[in-house]
């Protein structure tokens, strides 16, 4: 998909599901809670690229205690739009997680396959503790049993864009979560 003009770009943005102010309020609450829970502990926030980078950046600014950030990239789609169930780590963490309380910061939990595998891999590295915080949870799509420790929003089964989530690499910069309109 190549978008060549603003009108085409905007035509694909359907209704806003979660506003910018709702996201900011939820981030503030989450940052306060994590700051209390991990005060005085070595904390590592791990973003699963690419979609979670916006969420990580804003959550990190809401956390008032010292923390480090790390990045991983995992893929399970391989040229398509449906997960094939095999997870490949395409970029791994630089940090030794055994020295940290680790929080995986994820943009959306859909089938749960990728995140369940990432959690399994990180647990094998013996972090001091491991928690998953997700911006969006779509439990109706789950194919493996997986629950985040913290979900900021639960959404129905819509294809969503914005706030780091994309369609064809577009729409990540939207400050809200919107439903994507595929039928034009």
Residue pLDDT, tens place only, 69-104: 999 998 765 444 455 567 788 899 989 999 999 999
Given the structure tokens 């690419």, which residue do they identify?
50
SS3 call for 162:
strand
Task: Please report the pLDDT score of residue 172 as a whole number.
Answer: 95
Average pLDDT, the chain: 91
Domain ranges of the chain: 6-179
pLDDT at 37 over 90: yes
Question: Do 179 and 12 meet the contact criterion of CB atoms below 8 Å apart?
Answer: no
Sequence-ordered alpha helix ranges (H) in the chain:
6-11, 20-38, 53-62, 113-123
Domain 6-179: give its CATH architecture.
Answer: 3-Layer(aba) Sandwich (3.40)
pTM (two decimals): 0.90
Rounded Cα–Cα distance for residues 74 and 87 (Å): 7
Average pLDDT over residues 102-112: 94
Task: Please report the pLDDT score of residue 80 as a whole number.
Answer: 45
Q: Over the stretch 126-144, which tens digit does the pLDDT of each residue have?
A: 999 999 999 999 999 999 9
- CA–chain centroid gap for 82, Å, is 18
Active site residues: 110
Q: How far apart are the first and last CA of the chain?
A: 13
| Nearest-5° Cα angle at 40, 38 to 45 | 45
Task: Please report the pLDDT score of residue 53 as a whole number.
Answer: 95
pLDDT at 61 over 80: yes
Task: Please report the pLDDT score of residue 17 as a whole number.
Answer: 97
Packing angle, helices 20-38 and 53-62, rounded to 10: 60
Per-residue pLDDT band at 184 (split at 50, 70, 90): low
Q: Is 163 left (phi over 0), alpha (psi -120 to 50) or beta?
A: left
Token representation of residue 167: 């369609």
- CA–chain centroid gap for 165, Å, is 8
């Amino acid at each position: 998909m190549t978008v060549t003009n603003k009108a085409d770009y905007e035509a694909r943005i359907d209704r806003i599901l979660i506003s910018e102010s709702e996201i900011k309020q939820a981030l503030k609450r989450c940052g306060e809670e994590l700051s209390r829970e991990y005060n005085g502990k070595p904390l590592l926030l791990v973003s699963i690229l690419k979609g979670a980078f916006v969420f990580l950046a804003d959550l990190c600014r809401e956390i008032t205690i010292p923390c480090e950030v790390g990045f991983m990239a995992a893929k399970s789609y391989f040229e398509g739009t449906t997960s094939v169930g095999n997870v490949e780590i395409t970029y791994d963490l630089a940090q030794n997680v055994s020295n940290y309380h680790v929080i995986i910061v994820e943009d959306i939990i859909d089938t749960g396959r990728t995140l369940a595998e990432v959690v399994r891999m990180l647990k094998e590295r013996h972090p001091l503790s491991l928690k998953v915080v997700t911006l969006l949870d779509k439990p109706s799509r789950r194919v493996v049993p997986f629950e985040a420790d913290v979900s900021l929003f639960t959404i129905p089964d819509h294809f969503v864009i914005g706030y780091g989530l994309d369609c064809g690499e577009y729409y990540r910069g939207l400050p809200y979560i919107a439903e994507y309109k595929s039928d034009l």
